[in-house]
Amino acid sequence: MQFEHKEDTINAIREFHIKNSFDYIVAESRPDRYVAKCKHFGAGCDWRIRASYNVKRDDWEIRKINGTHSCVSLLVSQDHSKLNSSFISDLIVNLVSADPIILVKALVKEIVSRFGYTVTYRKAWTAKQMAMAKIYGD
């Protein structure tokens, strides 16, 4: 898989984990490399991913994925640790751009329909403010 920017790569990894109720930790993050592994790495799950910048093609690519998640997802909470305001703002920027007065409750429902997690009103409100800043500037 190839991506234009490092942030796009990270967001793809994050979205996969949110949708599949897994969690991961970042093992290494440098300007030219990103390595993440399962939160339960070494305790039965050997999943690990490596992405790096390809100078020749001027893009980011996922170079290696070791194994699959063999751990049992224990995430049963209403929220996911990787579902933060910054990530949400990237997801809702088009909604906010189309309807700047969209209710925060509607944004919470959108996140529930996309990922199955209920984020707090505060997190959704912060994400909306971040999206507004991206659209209209600080």
Residue 49, CA distances (Å) to 7, 38, 93, 100, 126 in order:
15, 9, 28, 37, 30
Q: Provide the 8-state DSSP code for 52.
A: E
pLDDT grade for 74, boundaries at 50, 70 and 90: low
Summarize pLDDT for 52-68 with one digit per residue, the tens.
999 999 999 999 998 78
- CA-nearest of 15, 18, 41 to 28 is 41
- CA-nearest of 136, 34, 33, 135 to 90 is 135
E runs forming strands in 55-135 = 59-66
What are the beta bridge partners of residue 36?
A: 26, 49
Contact 113, 77 (CB under 8 A): no
The proportion of the chain whose per-residue pLDDT surpasses 90, expressed as a percent, equals 62
pLDDT of residue 82: 84
The token duo for 132 is 């507004």
pTM for this one?
A: 0.71
Separation between Cα atoms, residue 48 and residue 61, nearest integer Å: 15
Question: Structural domain boundaries of the chain?
Answer: 2-66, 85-136
pLDDT of residue 86: 92
Summarize pLDDT for 12-34 with one digit per residue, the tens.
999 988 888 788 999 999 999 99
Average pLDDT, the chain: 89
The token duo for 4 is 């234009």
The mean-pLDDT minimum among 30-34, 49-53, 112-116 falls in 112-116
Residue 123 has pLDDT above 70, yes or no: yes
Residue 85, CA distances (Å) to 4, 37, 59, 90 in order:
22, 22, 26, 9
- What average pLDDT does this structure show over 79-94? 88
pLDDT of residue 115: 84
pLDDT of residue 39: 86
- CA-nearest of 92, 30, 33, 107 to 64 is 33
pLDDT of residue 46: 87
